[in-house]
Structure 1
Amino acid sequence: MTTLFYSAGSPYARICRMALREGGLADRVEERETTLRDAAASVLPHNPVGRVPALLLDDGVTLTETTLVLHWLDRMGSTPRMLPQDAHGMAAYGRVLGLLDGIAVWNRELRRPVHERSPGVIALEEARAARVADALEQDVATGAYAQLDAAFLALAAVLGYADRRHTVWRWQEGRPSLAAWFATAAARPAFAETLPPPSGI
């Protein structure tokens, strides 16, 4: 059986876990939680990079990185298809992945001891997140991210991550359209079933 390795705190893996549920593939893919940054992690024999998501196929091939996993889920018959097929959809998906990458860097920096943190990196990523969130506020106000696809799930994952694991970022302030969009997305069962554990940052 195809197996998806994930970590409950990973927003990248969460996108794929929500896609399984939304695409009708939950009964065809086993979800297996793994530790990260651990020499004994169960994912390492299949993905020596040690990152999630990692999709182990029936023939032993392992696909890594969110977009590649979503591509394979589409090939498995996900309904609806998850990866956008047009330029606007791909741009929307890419914008959110860029936001997620920046927040991951920001969050990682804040987890360092205070004397090891880079104020420049923190300021850069905080400004980037605010800039992208302002653009997303305009996007959702004009009807973007309404279709259930990878862009929708990625936006739900990144805002959900900020709410529970990167609370220093007050993304809702001054962005009523984005906050309303998130409230609707958060009501979906796939979102509730994949909530990450809270963190103190």
Structure 2
Amino acid sequence: MNTPAHLIFGLAVFGRPNASRITAAALAGALIPDASLYVMVGWSLFVMGIDARIVFGELYFSDLWQAVFRIDNSFILWGAGFAAALWLRLDWAIALCGAALLHLLFDFPLHHDDGRAHFWPLTDWIYQSPLSYWDRNHYAGIVAPIEMGMSLIAGVFIVRRFWGSKLIVGLSGVLMAAQVVPGLIWAFVF
């Protein structure tokens, strides 16, 4: 899924009105599994000046990058963190780890040839889904509109739930726009 959708769903499920620490943890947990990708891509493209085709065609699949993705996309590690948070009754940690697990649950079935080793350290196996959230050769033409629709529904839920918080309502609006607008633009381009 696209990162804005992950943030929307993490906030919708684990965010709590009038509990900024928990809400911030939910947003962080929804973002962390993608954060290393943004850092490595940003560094490669904008600091190192590496061509995007190399970044996404070679570096993304390199042993180094995949080693990082194994850690921040591991059901095992996030599941252990979630279990520990439940045991210790740490609401913010439950939101953090829960939102990260939700991120992984949405990503797992939506990556065809660009998935992650979600069960590391037990195995380096990568599930090759028949579906993709971005690759039209693997049903993105169906998946992407569903993702957009679900994101809008969850975004409206957030707005209603957090109506008293201008920050969260505004953030939700930005996330919904970030999720929907590129899809509408690409629909017209193609």
Q: How high is the TM-score relative to the length of structure 1? A: 0.27
Greater percentage in strand: 1
Pick 1 or 2: higher relative contact order, CA cutoff 8 A, min separation 6.
2
Q: How high is the TM-score relative to the length of structure 2? A: 0.28
